[in-house]
Amino acid sequence: MDVFLQQLINGLTLGSIYGLIAIGYTMVFGIIGMVNFAHGDVFMVSAFIALICVLLLTTVVGLSSIFLILAITLVVAMLFTGLVSWTIERVAYRPLRGSFRLAPMISAIGMSILLSNFVQVAQGPRNKPLPPMVTEVIVIRETNGYEVTLAYKQIIIMVVTAVLLAGFWYLVKKTPLGRAQRACEQDRKMAALLGVNVDQTIALTFVIGAALAAVAGVMYLMYYGVVNFADGFVPGVKAFTAAVLGGIGSLPGAVLGGILIGLIETFWSAYFSIEYKDVAAFSILVVTLIFLPQGLLGRPEVEKV
Amino acid sequence: MAGESASPARESRAWDRNPILKVDHLSMRFGGLVAVNDVSFVAGRGEVTAVIGPNGAGKTTVFNCITGFYKPSTGRLALFHGGPATDAEVDGVTASGLAWGKSEAGALYLLERLPDHKVASWARVARTFQNIRLFSGMTILENLLVAQHMSLTTSGLLNPAAILNLPSWQRKQKGAVDRALYWLNKIGLVDRADDPAGDLPYGDQRRLEIARAMCTDPVLLCLDEPAAGLNPRESAALNELLLSIRREHQASILLIEHDMSVVMEISDHVVVLEYGSKIADGTPDEVRNDPRVIASYLGVEDEEEAVAVVEAGA
Amino acid sequence: MAPVSGSDLADVPDPSPVPAEKPRGPERTSAVAGAFKDALVSGLLTALLFLPLVGFRASESSTGSLVLTYRFGLVAIFAGIVMVGRFLLMVTVWNPNRPPRRVSTTPGVMARLGALASPAVKPVFFSFAILYPFLSILLAGGLSPSRYWVDLGIYVLTYVMLGWGLNIVVGLAGLLDLGYVAFYAVGAYTFALLSTSVPINDFFAGTLGDDFWTAWAFWICLPLSGILAAMWGVILGFPVLRLRGDYLAIVTLAFGEIIRLVLINWVSLTNGGAGISSIPPITFFGVPFDSSETGFASIFGLEFNSMHRMFFLYFVILGLAALTAVVTIRLRKMPVGRAWEALREDEIACRSLGINTTLTKLTAFATGAMFGGFAGAFFAVRIRFVSPESFTFMESAVILAIVVLGGMGSQMGVAGAAILLIGGMELLRNLSFLKADFLFGSDFDPSLYRMLIFGFAMVAVMVWRPRGLVSSRMPTIFLKERKAVSGSLVKEGHG
């Protein structure tokens, strides 16, 4: 029971991070039908930007308030990562829009290689550790020396995720931008004819997705305290799995999928074997796609003859 | 039942005496939407049967059920090879749980039990599509050869003779090319055999799609709006092609059509659908004079207007 | 980062050229002014993009904690390069006043030239491939100095073969497979496990002689590797091939990763991440390449040289690649090959013609997997060591990139892309001249930039030629004249 509770907390934390990344996949897939392979690496880049920002604030500026540091880092990472993603869309994807279906995918794979190696060259191949940032924990219960703890940083992650998701939800559901997005999703040509600026809408989709990935990046850095240039791929694939599990194209699905993947991963590690935790995540992806291709909250696709 | 009420002199009908396809109580639901509601009709052997009706009447859904692309919610679709099977034989196969069985006259297939590709390869029902589906990056000749895939292979996959390039394979391939040429002559595209199908003008693409379907050697040819988008001259050429297919190949034709000139000129039998149900069934003359059809469809001067009215109601 | 590309196109995604109907008055100055503005914006953007990760660097200090170092000069240099480059491009190639290129639906000059040259390309390519090791001896000046070049040839040919194998799946059948490396791994591990298996060795030692298994393992395992990989293709393909489009891509990616993770974690069988070493080397059909009495050199009356084995490996992979090509060419002319291409063009139409699409997809998947398996066995006998490291997703991505960059379906295009990408990537290893003092200095490590340039090249080539190097398709049969089909008509498949 105690182990279960602890794993539940850890799983929800991890799931929040996956969910945030997954939204980027699901939004981009929804609007232009493309798997943005570079999204995982955009997440990694955001974690590096956060690392630089934290170092700058702590060692150069000399800020000591951890919450101020986190808030500034969050904003800086979101802005810069959004810019990176905007540029990627503009340079590597937009020229290929409306052409051959595989071209943007290959371009995205190339971009993924480019980003991770760019970071490797610019920042070096070694792990970048930060001193632990938020170390306080709340002990929820204790039996026989086994403590079930809820760390402050876990609370921060869940709260930030929840708040940002709410804001993002409002953005997509209630604002003209959200409406334009949904219009482009339905029929891009028609939306253009009705005066929606399709290019701008798609670019903004990439920026929003990247900004949420940046939040995930900051949280990741704070939670694990270390980041490496190769850290984009596996969380990227898992977040994609989350998006698929929840039903690709569905925003609540992405979050639900993220949380489920996070829970499955932590429980699998705790109860079965930690070595096979990634195998478990990938197997879920395969099984979902085979038996429930539309995902948990997605709409089934009817084959048009 | 709509089927019974439409024709009092049922037994005297040619299509009832020698049917090739019997549609019994066909229904198709998508979630809560009933696209086809308890439709029954018969298509006669060697005849041209037209299914007409306003947009959204369920015509294409009926087609997709017949050709195996949709699994009907309920209903039976019996196709007869050789000659009509008796009701007892049809019931026998239905009860057996199999998808096909032998009959006195030949064989009978229950199409609702076959996957789409077997409807084409076993039951030999060929079809075309409303939005043309040619292999546009392949040449016209290649299109017609792909259509003969089943006769060129054993069990639809490989041909051992082809791997070794044996003379028997070369003969077979020659036969397939000859067959393709026959159809190219028929649709007047021999000179363009080596051009990609996607380069053809629209009207030629329509006819190529029909030729490709005929290359599978079907007993029943299903055409989904073959005249859509054709100009009057192309439309006349299409009529000619369809009549010659019926005359020379003993193939029965089932078609969906909006173009009344095509329907009235070439069909022997017209089935009218509206809102997923059958409202009339008979010869073109009977249908033309049927009060319900006039009211719902033909009576309005402008056909498009009628369609628009029906759509708005749906 | 590449400069942001030019003028805003219309909203509707339409690759038509930029409209040129502008009044012909003050355009000259405005073009230059516009270019200047664009250049300034691009430069600023570059500066911003490079600021966090190039301008600052989190370096490890002596105490182990991170400290920031600054490289703002570098950011300025990059921004300057982009600014100048963008300006030059805007006034030349991307100049809005340049007359738009004519867009024609008929194959372009390149395609027509290609069609003219195509009968010659294949024999020339093949002859060159056969002569290549001898040429490298000549040019390198001796047997031993040619080692690098022959090895490079083997390496490139492995990817040519892998590209051709995957081309069957992706290029012909239109099935997007992102886990092709799984079959490569199956082939490699099949050979590695069987050839190092003690029981099998003992069994043959008892019946056919002590050295039998070492001498013949490769030749016996090669077909086995292909068959096993094909079987895996069927096993993996069966549940997933009804998926469409990107879903298939993702499932195959997941399968590829699962196989790799199992190889890492199933230590009792695969020795985990440490890999399997001491795989027996290739033999000349049972005759070992060693300096002994019964070795290759003594039997053929040559002076022993370790390069003999290298040469033989070269010709083995050349033969395997040629086999892949010949089988593919043959299959394309058979009903099953035409069905693959028809499947890529329109799956629903295929079903309406009676083609069992699941079975057809499975054959494509299994055939592609089989060649992947052959290549895997070859990889294992060449390196004589296998570990899960060699079978990452990156490998699948590279092979797929070769197929797509080559132009899906075109064998010569795929071969060209493999030579360009893999050969180019290898040559990037030799950038040591950049270490010269007047360039980057001796502490500059050029090999780091290899993958960076590779990724950049992938993006750039895709943007430049989305349909790959050879975009037209050759029909498999013709009545009067074989005409290339323009790439714009050829579909890329949906599954």
Nearest CA in chain B to A302: B30
**Is the Cβ of A179 closer than 8 Å to some Cβ of chain C?**
no
Residues of B in contact with A305 (CB under 8 A): 60, 64, 69-70, 129
CB A76 within 8 A of CB A53: yes
Range of the domain at B190: 137-217
On the question of pLDDT at B294 being above 70, the answer is yes
The last residue of a domain, from among B217, B247, B275:
B217
- B111/B233 same-domain check: yes
Residues 6+ apart with CB under 8 A from B313: none
Q: C335 or C468, which is more confident?
A: C335
All residues of chain A having their beta carbon less than 8 Å from the beta carbon of residue C404 are 102-103, 106
**Which residues have a Cβ under 8 Å from the Cβ of A286 and sit 6 or more positions away?**
C239, C240, C251, C254, C255, C258
pLDDT of residue A119: 92
Percent helix / strand / coil, chain A, rounded to 5: 75, 5, 20
Residue B131 located in a structural domain: no
Per-residue pLDDT at B81: 92
Taking 3-state DSSP, the helix, strand and coil percentages for chain C, each rounded to the nearest 5, stand at 65, 5, 30
Say if residue B71 is in the same domain as residue B172.
no
d(CA A144, nearest CA chain C) in Å: 33
Please report, for residues A84, A213, C137, C459, the alpha-carbon distance to residue A80 in angstroms, rounded to integers and kept in the order given: 6, 11, 53, 21
Domain range list for chain C? 27-91, 109-464
Residue B4: per-residue pLDDT:
43
Q: Do residues B100 and B117 share a domain?
A: yes
Secondary structure (DSSP) of C172-201: IS----S-THHHHHHHHHHHHHHHT-HHHH
d(CA A93, CA A12): 33
Contacts across the A-C interface (CB distance below 8 Å): 219
Same domain, B75 and B195: no
Predicted local distance difference test score (pLDDT) of residue A301: 62
Domain shared by B244 and B114, yes or no? yes
Residue B273 placed within a domain: yes
Size of the A and B interface in Cβ pairs below 8 Å: 7
Position B18 in a domain = yes
Identity at B244, one-letter amino acid code: S
Domains contained in chain B, number: 2
CB atoms under 10 Å from CB of B123, counted, come to: 28
Min Cα distance C493 → chain A (Å) is 9
At C222-256, the pLDDT tens digits run: 999 999 999 999 998 888 777 766 778 888 888 89
Nearest Cα to Cα of residue B68 among A266, C132, A118, C357 = C357
The whole-number average pLDDT for the span A211-237 is 91
Specify the long-range contacts of residues B85-90, CB closer than 8 Å, at least 24 apart. Answer: B90/B22
Show which subunits contact A, needing at least 3 CB pairs below 8 angstroms.
B, C
The residue among B159, B190, B217 that closes a domain is B217
What's the whole-number mean pLDDT along residues A136-153?
A: 83
Which phi and psi angles does C264 have, rounded to 5°?
-70, -40
| pLDDT, position C429 | 74
A153 to chain C, any CB pair closer than 8 A? The answer is no
**DSSP-assigned beta bridge partners for residue B29:** B34
Is B242 a domain residue?
A: yes
Is there a single domain that holds both residue B116 and residue B11? yes
Q: What is the pLDDT of residues A53-112, one digit of tens each?
A: 999 998 888 888 888 999 999 999 999 999 999 999 999 999 888 777 778 888 998 999
Confidence of residue C7 (pLDDT cuts 50, 70, 90): very low
Asked if B178 is an interface residue toward chain C (Cβ–Cβ < 8 A), one would say: no
List the single residue in A with minimal CA-CA distance to C494. A101
> Rounded to the nearest 5 degrees, what angle is found at the Cα of C398, between the Cα atoms of C194 and C277?
25
Residue B154 vs residue C145, higher pLDDT:
C145
Extended strands (E) in chain B? 19-30, 33-44, 48-52, 74-81, 100-102, 107-110, 125-127, 220-224, 252-256, 269-274, 277-282
Predicted confidence at residue B6, as pLDDT, reads 45
- Using an 8 Å Cβ cutoff, are A214 and C52 in contact? no
**CATH number of the domain enclosing B252:** 3.40.50.300
As a whole number, mean pLDDT of residues C416-422 equals: 89
Which of A286, A291, A301, A305 should be substituted to probe chain C, the one whose Cβ sees the most C Cβ atoms within 10 Å? A286
CA distance C314 to chain A (A): 30
d(CA A261, CA B193): 54
For CA atoms A113, C491, C494, B32, give the dihedral sign. positive
Instruction: Please indicate, yes or no, whether residues B211 and B234 belong to a single structural domain of this protein.
Output: no
Q: Domain C109-464: which CATH class?
A: mainly alpha
- As given in the structure block, the two tokens for residue C364 are 């494509």
Q: How far apart are CA C308 and CA C379, in angstroms?
A: 18
Taking contacts as CB-CB distances below 8 angstroms, the residues of chain B near C330 are 163, 165
Contact A302 B30 (CB under 8 A): yes
pLDDT band at C292 (very low <50, low <70, confident <90, very high): confident
- Could A106 and C265 be called an inter-chain contact, meaning their C-beta atoms sit closer than 8 Å? no
- B116 and B253 co-located in one domain: yes
Model confidence at C102, in pLDDT bands (50, 70, 90)?
low
Whole-number pLDDT of residue A252: 87
Mean pLDDT over residues A243-259, rounded?
88
Residue B24 and residue B263 in contact, taking contact as beta carbons nearer than 8 Å: no
Nearest Cα of chain C lies from the Cα of B188 at a distance, in angstroms, of 15
Q: Does C476 touch chain B (CB under 8 A)?
A: yes
- C319 and chain B in contact, CB less than 8 A: no
For A84, nearest residue in chain C (alpha carbons): C49
DSSP for A258-276 reads HHHHHHHHHHHHHHS-STT
Q: What is the mean pLDDT of residues A23-36?
A: 87
- What is the mean pLDDT of the segment spanning C168-182? 91
CA nearest to A189 within chain C: C12
- Tell me, what's the pLDDT at C369? 96
Q: What is the pLDDT of residue C340?
A: 93
DSSP C200-248: HHHHHHHHT-TTHHHHHHHHHHHHHHHHHHHHHHHHHHHHHTTS-THHH
| pLDDT confidence tier of residue B297, bands split at 50, 70 and 90 | low
- Asked if C484 reaches chain B (Cβ–Cβ under 8 Å), the answer is no
User: What's the mean pLDDT in B145-164?
Assistant: 80
Query: pLDDT tens for residues C54-84?
Result: 888 888 877 777 888 888 888 898 899 998 9
* Domain finish residue from B163, B191, B217: B217
A228 CB contacts (<8 Å, ≥6 apart)? A125, A126, A127, A128
Q: Which residues of A touch B70 (CB under 8 A)?
A: 305
Interchain contact, A110 vs C247, CB within 8 Å: no
Report how far residue A168's alpha carbon sits from residue B239's, in angstroms, rounded to the nearest whole number.
58
For chain A, first and last CA: distance in Å? 52
- DSSP-derived secondary structure letter, C118: H
Does C334 sit within 8 Å of B196, measured CB to CB?
no
